[in-house]
Chain A
């Protein structure tokens, strides 16, 4: 079902896409708080992305985790968005466990999904 091609070469191909270049052919750049490779574990994503938010909730500061992406960005041909959905669900599970003070176990993320974390509100007074 899933593509087995070398992901590194696919990413290199992507860098040559005209959509990711500006008018003079230079690569457009964006800055993020973290970029996760397809090899990143859910624990990596949880610790960098969800933990500050969950800690806030335990401390009385509301928080939100949102998964955003195009259809099938898990790159799974016919299966829709497995990577994204699986991640969102794992985040749910781990957050639920964390909130109830229990240890949690993680599943491996969908291998083809690439995750970019953007912490919209890292400046908190609370």
Chain B
């Protein structure tokens, strides 16, 4: 392992890497930070650079895979503690493990990218599992966020099929889809692993899983590099100001048409 590190160090164009890890769980439409177990119901904020992200979530910079795996273990342990308190919560929540990688090659521009690894809660039929009380509420929330995910994927797939920009994608129907909005319909490469149960008693769920997977596959996105420069912020600001000017002009024109001015 040390040899590999040494080999990286000796590379002439060795890039400077920074890796930041965050680990959150979505349970009953509430966000918990698995790296900060005392957190409750964190909020989502829109960040110009990062897209939808979780406010006040821990982002720990790691310098070794050992530490990265430690964080994964710590987060998983925090999740397991909650699981005993909340009845198999671990399989009934969505988990988002994110690595933000920023690289700065010695001669070249800085790039930044995020890898989200998402373990979605299992979909299930309430009727079949006989869930009631708190578990029934959980099931409904799990299924409603998975339904929202399905709807988002369907809207994007439809737009891809028609080769048009999606008119309305219901990202805001759940926290899950808001957090995944950039992954699903934005500047990102996305892969789904869908698991199937081979039993006949689960055939209808298997059919809907296959249907979902086929739909997800038909979504096309174009992903491109995010290059950070000193001008990134001011360029974004200029673009936003231009957009405001355009919208103001359109609004004025519309008002004049209606004789409201």
Contacts and interface: CB of A to CB of B under 8 A. Distances in A.
Interface of A: 7, 10-11, 13-14, 16-20, 28, 30-33, 38, 45, 49-50, 52-54, 56-75, 80-81, 83-85, 87-89, 91-93, 95-97, 99-103, 112-126
Chain B interface size range? 35 or more
B65 A19 contact: no
Contacts of B111: 59-60
Residue with the greatest number of chain A CB neighbours at <10 A, chosen from B112, B129, B224:
B224
B226 A62 contact: yes
A49 B193 contact: yes
Contact of B222 (A7, A80, A124): A124
16 contacts: A17-B203, A63-B113, A64-B117, A64-B180, A64-B184, A64-B190, A66-B193, A69-B122, A71-B122, A71-B129, A75-B197, A89-B119, A116-B196, A116-B210, A120-B220, A121-B219
A121 B221 contact: yes
Contacts of B123: 68-71
Interface string B47-59: 0000000000000
B191 A125 contact: no
B115 A67 contact: no
B188 A61 contact: yes
B30 interface: no
Given A57-B114, A63-B115, A93 B223 contact: no
B183 interface: yes
Contacts of B88: 80
A56 B226 CA distance: 11
Nearest to A114: B196
* SS class, residues of chain A in contact with chain B: mixed
Given A118-B213, A120-B192, A126-B224, 13 more contacts: A13-B200, A30-B210, A32-B213, A61-B187, A64-B117, A67-B119, A70-B123, A71-B121, A73-B197, A74-B195, A95-B117, A101-B4, A121-B190
A69 B115 contact: no
Interface string B109-143: 00111111111111110000100000000000000
A58 B4 CA distance: 17
A64 B76 CA distance: 19
B211 to A, nearest CB: 7
Contacts of B90: 80, 85
A96 B122 contact: no
Contacts of B43: none
A3 B119 CA distance: 24
Contacts of B211: 30
Contacts of A61: 113, 187-189, 223-226
A32 B223 contact: no
Residue with the greatest number of chain B CB neighbours at <10 A, chosen from A69, A83, A93, A126:
A69
B38 interface: no
B101 interface: yes
A125 B65 contact: no
Contacts of A63: 113-116, 183, 188-191, 223
